[in-house]
Structure 1
Amino acid sequence: MNKNKTDKIIITLTTWSGIALLLGLIGWGATYFFNGYRYEQTNDAQVDAYLSPINAKVGGYVSSIYYKDNQQVKKGDTLVLIELDEYGLKKDAAAAELMSAHAKLPILAVNEETQLKSIGVIKAQLTGAKARLDQQQKEFDRYKNLLADESTTQQKFDKVSASLSITQSDYEQTKASLQVAESKLNDFSAQRNAIQAEIKLKETLLQRQELDIRYTVITAPFDGQIGKKTIQEGQLIQAGQTLAFLVNKAEEKWVLANFKETQISKFSIGQAVSIEVDAFPNEKFNGVIESLSPTTGARYSLLPPDNATGNFVKIIQRIPVRIRFTDKSNKVAKLSAGMNANVYVLKD
């Protein structure tokens, strides 16, 4: 009797369990088909955000690291120091070269002053040479007339003629010396321009060395959370090398959902979207379609598919759809880039 009663109880429990399971399946099926009727959905979606790389602007050995994995940092916080010794020596060398270039200007000024005095002396000599030439020319003309009147000898006339030639030569030589001196003075002006250009170049090089020294201190460009530390103290890094990634918590986040090409025919910008994030299964997020990709996701791959072959198999492609959150920023702030999501786009 007890055994029959027990069997009846088991049968009853089994029956009710079956009924409950059936009702559950019916409810799940109804929900699935209801959602399928109201929404276009995909689970091929992730939360995304901009990852800003922290790059080294100069190379060198890492002196100190002031951050840890996943650390919150403020704008201007020092993250990495690069050894300064080499850049300090380069700055000293650039400063010395600049001083050397500046020192050339006083020397050039003295040379210009000396040259001006030399030009004054040559001009005075030229005046005297011109006076002697005029006097000798008059003497030559007088003896020429005397020779014509046979009042002097040919010997005296030849002597006067030779003196005129010598005086003429002295004058021309002094005149040429003045031209050379003035040309040299112009050379000094050109040298001054060259020295000033050299000073400008040396100043720029010094500023560059000072800039490189500032670049040895790598700071956070904005408030955010830094990612994994991939460098160690004493490590040699190169200019342009990525040292870490910084995520701006205040920056915009979005969802990138890959819908099948058969689902997007009625999608439009601003269309309402419901989002479920796997990390927060009991919480709903809201958004709108911000843009649709102009190409399928496969077109962005390293080797995009080429269907112009004999063995063609049609595969449904996916279109990346960017979805902007419409929830308050403090609600979205807890989401991290890379989190998986389910996306439901409300049909019009």
Structure 2
Amino acid sequence: MDGAGQQQRFKTPGDATGEQSLHGPATEIETGVGDPAVSKPPPSKRKRLVIAGGVLLVVCTLVVLGFCYWLHARQFESTDDAFIDGFQSKVASRVSGPVVALLVGDNDQVKAGQPILELDPRDYEVSLGQAQANAANAAAQAAQARADLQAMQADLNEDNAQVLVAQADATQARQDLARYEASSPDAISRQQFDQSKATALGMNAKLESARQAVNAGQAQLAAQQAKIDAADASSRQAAESVKNAELQLSYTHICAPVAGRITQRSVDVGNYVMPGQALLAIVPSRVWVTANFKETQLTHMRVGQLVTVTVDAYPGHPLHGHIESLQRGTGSFFSTLPAENATGNYVKVVQRVPVKIVFDGDDWHNYPLAPGMSVIPEVTVR
């Protein structure tokens, strides 16, 4: 390569002549001009101190804020495993029959004792009429048995009177016989003596017959009393049958057992229902919170501690309550398939314990709280 080619390779934009020899002034490649890492001046010591101070200030602020949050958070225990809880009253039919009237709709508010359903009552009205007729018949039989007893008592009284008469006649005959026996044989004839003796024997026999009649009358009286007792028992049984028929008839009118709202309605007019069939459920207005806290959160938790409840559906309206009770047993202990820790494959898991929280005041009535709604309770434990 010639000298002109060498000069062309090292030509720079700032060269006034457009050419530079290899032995001329230093080029950009040699001096490093144009390289950012080389051309940027190093930061000053003051700037490094400012940056380090800012980082330290941020770290200190975060530590202070974290410590303050810890001081605040250690006074409370909270969980998102919580929900609105409440009882539900299942309404079922106690008799069978077709539904002829449905007096409530879904989610209607009902009062305790309010009619909600009507079944066809005609079959039960007929049964009631038959029971009432049987009861009247049994009562008439009992009355007839008592009337017969009174008649038998009158006959027995007459038999007792006949005994007294026969007793008097027998006594008179014995006395006459005794006088004849004491008299001289020449004073009376043999015929008179034999007649007096026969009369005495006849009167004794008549007395004995009257006594037997009394005994028979007393036996008949006892038998009739037994008949009266049986008639009374039948009458009472018939009366109970009437009550049962009335009760069965009353079951055709189904009323709300508690106050609340209608839910889970599974029946309509025309459906044929059977005894024990669930028709609908009523959720009472009284609800509470069941919060499943970890067992490690119960260290300082006590009955009566104040709780702030935030309902997910109404986040801007916290409600207030207190702990009413802590369940004596974890949720897994009462599950359908409790853990068997003696099988050899035991793995320790933090358990949860249901805590019942009831609302204070009347603020919670302003919101349609329903069982199953999610909440976040915050318990003040210190």
Q: What is the TM-score when the length of structure 2 is the normalising length?
A: 0.71
Contact 1:325/1:332 (<8 A) preserved? no
2:264 to 228, 235, 244: 228
How far apart are 1:29 and its partner, in Å?
A: 8.8
C-alpha offsets along residues 172-219 of structure 1, whole Å, 9 cap, x if unaligned?
Answer: 111110222234335444544554454344333323322322221112
* Residue 244 in structure 1 maps to residue 251 in structure 2: no
* Residue 340 in structure 1 maps to residue 374 in structure 2: yes
How far apart are 1:63 and its partner, in Å?
A: 2.9
Question: Partners in 2 of 1:163 and 1:170 — Cα distance?
Answer: 10
- What is residue 240 of structure 2 aligned with on the other side? 204
Contact 2:290/2:357 (<8 A) preserved? yes
- What is residue 8 of structure 1 aligned with on the other side? none
- What is residue 302 of structure 2 aligned with on the other side? 268
| AA in 2 matched with 1:231 | V
Q: Which moved more, 1:175-184 or 1:262-271?
A: 175-184
Contact 1:290/1:324 (<8 A) preserved? yes
Match runs of 1:165-184 below 5 Å: 165-184=201-220
Contact 1:143/1:152 (<8 A) preserved? no
| AA in 2 matched with 1:211 | L
Question: Partners in 2 of 1:322 and 1:273 — Cα distance?
Answer: 11
Question: Partners in 2 of 1:106 and 1:47 — Cα distance?
Answer: 63
Question: Partners in 2 of 1:305 and 1:56 — Cα distance?
Answer: 38
Q: Which moved more, 1:49-58 or 1:115-124?
A: 115-124
Question: Partners in 1 of 2:117 and 2:289 — Cα distance?
Answer: 32
Contact 1:126/1:174 (<8 A) preserved? yes
Q: Which moved more, 1:333-342 or 1:141-150?
A: 141-150
Question: Partners in 1 of 2:148 and 2:124 — Cα distance?
Answer: 37
Q: Which moved more, 1:36-45 or 1:190-199?
A: 190-199
Q: Give me the CA root mean square deviation.
A: 3.5
| AA in 2 matched with 1:93 | Q
* Residue 283 in structure 1 maps to residue 288 in structure 2: no
* Residue 328 in structure 1 maps to residue 328 in structure 2: no
| AA in 1 matched with 2:247 | L
| AA in 1 matched with 2:326 | L
How far apart are 1:263 and its partner, in Å?
A: 1.0
Question: Partners in 1 of 2:227 and 2:87 — Cα distance?
Answer: 54
Higher relative contact order (CA 8 A, sep 6+): 1
| Structure 2 residue matching 1:173: 3-state secondary structure | helix
The sequence identity of aligned pairs, in percent, is 30
- What is residue 301 of structure 1 aligned with on the other side? 335
How far apart are 1:150 and its partner, in Å?
A: 12
Contact 2:89/2:258 (<8 A) preserved? no
- What is residue 52 of structure 2 aligned with on the other side? none
Question: Partners in 2 of 1:315 and 1:73 — Cα distance?
Answer: 45
Instruction: Go from structure 1 to structure 2 and tell me whether the alpha carbon gap of 1:315 and 1:297 turns closer, same or farther (over 3 Å shift).
Output: same
Consecutive unaligned residues in structure 2, runs of 5 or more: 1-62
1:42 to 57, 64, 79: 79
Question: Partners in 1 of 2:320 and 2:97 — Cα distance?
Answer: 47
| Structure 2 residue matching 1:169: 3-state secondary structure | helix
How far apart are 1:298 and its partner, in Å?
A: 1.3
Instruction: Go from structure 1 to structure 2 and tell me whether the alpha carbon gap of 1:146 and 1:308 turns closer, same or farther (over 3 Å shift).
Output: same
Question: Partners in 2 of 1:268 and 1:297 — Cα distance?
Answer: 19
| Structure 2 residue matching 1:244: 3-state secondary structure | strand
- What is residue 9 of structure 2 aligned with on the other side? none
How far apart are 1:338 and its partner, in Å?
A: 0.3
Consecutive unaligned residues in structure 1, runs of 5 or more: 1-25
Question: Partners in 1 of 2:365 and 2:205 — Cα distance?
Answer: 101
Question: Partners in 2 of 1:305 and 1:199 — Cα distance?
Answer: 60
* Residue 218 in structure 1 maps to residue 254 in structure 2: yes
- What is residue 66 of structure 1 aligned with on the other side? 103
| Structure 2 residue matching 1:270: 3-state secondary structure | coil
| Structure 2 residue matching 1:316: 3-state secondary structure | coil
1:102 to 122, 126, 139: 139
Question: Partners in 2 of 1:86 and 1:112 — Cα distance?
Answer: 39
| Structure 2 residue matching 1:43: 3-state secondary structure | coil
How far apart are 1:122 and its partner, in Å?
A: 2.6
| Structure 2 residue matching 1:339: 3-state secondary structure | coil
How far apart are 1:327 and its partner, in Å?
A: 5.3
How far apart are 1:257 and its partner, in Å?
A: 0.6
Q: Which moved more, 1:211-220 or 1:157-166?
A: 157-166
- What is residue 221 of structure 2 aligned with on the other side? 185
- What is residue 129 of structure 2 aligned with on the other side? 92
Question: Partners in 1 of 2:111 and 2:129 — Cα distance?
Answer: 33
Instruction: Go from structure 1 to structure 2 and tell me whether the alpha carbon gap of 1:264 and 1:173 turns closer, same or farther (over 3 Å shift).
Output: same
Question: Partners in 2 of 1:206 and 1:233 — Cα distance?
Answer: 29
